[in-house]
């Protein structure tokens, strides 16, 4: 344990603490190191300016260098009452929930109406952390105080206790957000932090399989964060609409992430695009999936006779025979797999069975885009029971077939403009009935030894270094 308030104070006790820390770490050479502090070393990024919620420079860099030198396993901090989560080198950094109130400044992270007491008493934001330490590695579970049904053991991507349902990450999950200058603690400084309640949501619901745009891999900071999530045990599908060969550096990054890459094309232009599809496939060592665009002017001209059709992607389960012919004539040669779309009109059990049979026949894997929008583009789907039932059916079919990966669209409610949809969490990233249902079903399936989702092919890459084998 360390008193971070001393760092940068110039007091005699600061020198004594540095001497003690350096000596203690030297004596602990080769041992596993967990550091517990009140003030986090940093909130958003190690190079952020000094303010109320971090350790002053140059002490911050000195402390981080010591942790890097001794490969500290984890750092646990309080003070901010908000989860800030990051991995740097061998070290995981956790800022923990509060048991008493939400800080007024970090309540600004949510573009939603405030909860009780101007969001100070946003009860699902209150809680504590449970730490499991294994022979190799550790698992941190955030326990929210509103959970009257304590799940034991809790779901954990890192520990392999996962849901069979995945999710499409539409939200800006890795970006640093500026928050309002909101005194009195920092009346003169604008801070930039991530909203890591998104990661908390993924971990507590066991959502291992994530779908993100390929642009997330291109950006350096986001790629590093994706690599950390993969090391935690997450599995990625990265999508793009740009056919043709990928740059070697980007292809190398996809290999490092052991990611499945998804190419979305206009099926009406298939013959014209085949050379570009082949070049795209040849430039990537890992798995490549193919999807078609869904729009009012796609290849299914006899289906849409009026009304609004949202831009989307994925083949319909009724198109498996068409795809089987394509796979025989082109797809098999280029080792392609396929992405499907289950709209509101598709029963996940029936559609999943058809797609799983297609995957078996073609010896491929398939992803499913589980669309949560309703038939009215101006209204939020209101039947909560139907939404929950649909999610549970999708989770069951994914658990039943290793060849299927189902991504729910979306994690967080989209409640602005047209084509609103229910996610698993509301706009304040508090779990709704959907998240609770997915968690309960995932826990029930895990307790009965049912695996969550597909397993990697042998030789697909090393096991995540930070992951903990399921017991």
Q: State the pLDDT at residue 454.
A: 33
Q: Which two tokens stand for residue 358?
A: 């297609």
Give the residue from 251, 252, 253 showing the smallest Cα distance to 263.
Answer: 251
What does the radius of gyration of the chain's CA atoms come to, in whole angstroms?
24
- Cα–Cα separations (whole angstroms), residue 300 to 115, 295, 303: 45, 9, 6
Residues 312 and 298: their CA atoms lie apart, in Å, by 11
Note the helical H segments in 70-143: none
36 touches 70 (CB < 8 A) = no
User: What is 150-167 written as a DSSP string?
Assistant: --SSPPBTTTTB--SEEE
Residue 336: HSE in the Cβ half-sphere, 13 Å Cα cutoff: 27
Residues 27 and 30: their CA atoms lie apart, in Å, by 9
Q: Domains plus CATH for the chain?
A: 4-157 (3.60.21.10), 192-447 (3.20.20.80)
Task: Write down the residue that tokens 């349902």 correspond to.
Answer: 165
DSSP 3-state of 240:
strand
**Residue 320: in which H helix or E strand, if any?**
helix 320-326
Strand 34-36 with 192-193, pairing: unpaired
- Whole-model pTM: value is 0.91
- Cα–Cα separations (whole angstroms), residue 215 to 250, 251, 254, 329: 10, 12, 11, 31
Give the residue from 18, 136, 3 showing the smallest Cα distance to 77.
Answer: 3
Which stretches of 279-383 are assigned E, i.e. beta strand? 288-294, 312-313, 336-342, 366-371
> Quick one: DSSP state of residue 71?
T
DSSP 3-state of 226:
helix
Strand 366-371 with 336-342, pairing: parallel
Q: Which two tokens stand for residue 217?
A: 């891999």
Q: Which two tokens stand for residue 427?
A: 């706009």
pLDDT in tens, the chain (471 residues): 999 999 989 999 999 999 999 999 999 988 999 999 999 999 999 999 999 999 999 999 999 999 999 999 999 999 999 999 999 999 999 999 999 999 988 988 888 888 888 888 888 899 999 999 999 899 999 998 876 555 567 899 999 999 999 999 998 899 998 988 887 878 888 889 999 999 999 999 999 999 999 999 999 999 999 999 999 999 999 999 999 999 999 999 999 999 999 999 999 999 999 999 999 999 999 999 999 999 888 888 666 555 667 789 999 999 999 999 999 999 999 999 999 999 988 999 999 999 999 999 999 999 999 998 877 888 888 888 999 999 999 999 999 999 999 999 999 998 888 888 899 999 999 999 999 999 999 999 988 876 543 333 333 333 334 555 443
Residues 330 and 332: their CA atoms lie apart, in Å, by 6
398 touches 352 (CB < 8 A) = yes
Taking the CA atoms of residue 80, residue 85, residue 86 and residue 91 in that order, the dihedral angle to the nearest 10 degrees is: 90
Residues 254 and 350: their CA atoms lie apart, in Å, by 33
């Amino acid at each position: 344990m360390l008193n971070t308030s001393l760092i940068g104070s110039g007091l005699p006790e600061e020198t004594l603490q540095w001497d003690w820390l350096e000596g203690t770490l030297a004596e602990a050479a080769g041992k596993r190191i967990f550091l517990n502090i009140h003030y986090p070393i940093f909130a958003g990024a190690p190079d952020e300016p000094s303010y109320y919620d971090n350790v002053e420079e140059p002490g911050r860099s000195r402390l981080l260098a010591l942790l890097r030198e001794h490969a500290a396993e984890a750092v646990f901090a309080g003070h901010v009452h908000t989860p800030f989560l990051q991995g740097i080198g061998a070290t995981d950094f956790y800022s923990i929930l509060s048991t008493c109130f939400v800080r007024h400044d970090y309540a600004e992270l949510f573009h939603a109406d405030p909860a009780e007491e101007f969001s100070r008493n946003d009860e699902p934001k209150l809680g504590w952390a449970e730490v499991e330490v294994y022979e190799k590695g550790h698992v941190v579970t955030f326990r929210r105080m509103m959970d009257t049904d304590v799940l034991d053991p809790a779901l954990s991507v890192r520990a392999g206790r996962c849901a069979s349902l995945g999710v499409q990450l539409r939200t800006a999950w890795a970006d640093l957000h500026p928050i309002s200058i909101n005194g009195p603690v920092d009346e003169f400084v604008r801070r930039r932090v991530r909203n890591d309640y998104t990661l908390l949501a993924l971990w507590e619901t066991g959502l291992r399989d994530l779908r993100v745009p390929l642009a997330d891999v291109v950006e350096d900071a986001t790629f590093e964060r994706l690599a950390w999530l993969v090391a935690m045990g997450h599995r990625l599908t990265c999508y793009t609409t740009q056919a043709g060969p990928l740059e070697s550096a980007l292809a190398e990054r996809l290999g490092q992430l052991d990611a499945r890459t998804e190419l979305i094309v206009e099926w009406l232009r298939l013959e014209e695009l085949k050379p570009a599809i082949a070049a795209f496939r040849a430039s990537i060592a890992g798995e490549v999936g193919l999807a078609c665009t869904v729009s009012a002017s796609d290849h299914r001209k006899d289906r849409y006779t009026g009304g609004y059709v949202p831009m989307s992607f994925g083949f319909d389960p009724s198109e498996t025979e068409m795809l089987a012919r394509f796979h025989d004539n082109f797809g098999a040669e280029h080792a392609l797999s396929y992405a499907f779309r289950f709209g509101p009109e598709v029963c996940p059990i029936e559609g999943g069975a058809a797609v799983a049979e297609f995957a078996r026949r073609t010896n491929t894997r398939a992803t499913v885009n589980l669309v949560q929008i309703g038939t009215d583009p101006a209204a939020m789907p209101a039947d909560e029971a139907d939404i929950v039932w649909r999610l549970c059916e999708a989770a069951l079919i994914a658990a039943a077939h290793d060849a299927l990966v189902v991504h729910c669209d979306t994690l967080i409610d989209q409640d602005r403009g047209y084509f609103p949809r229910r996610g698993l969490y509301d706009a304040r990233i508090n779990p709704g009935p959907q998240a609770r249902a997915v968690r309960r079903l995932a826990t029930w399936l895990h307790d009965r030894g049912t695996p969550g989702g597909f397993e990697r092919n042998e030789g697909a890459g090393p096991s995540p270094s930070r992951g903990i084998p399921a017991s």
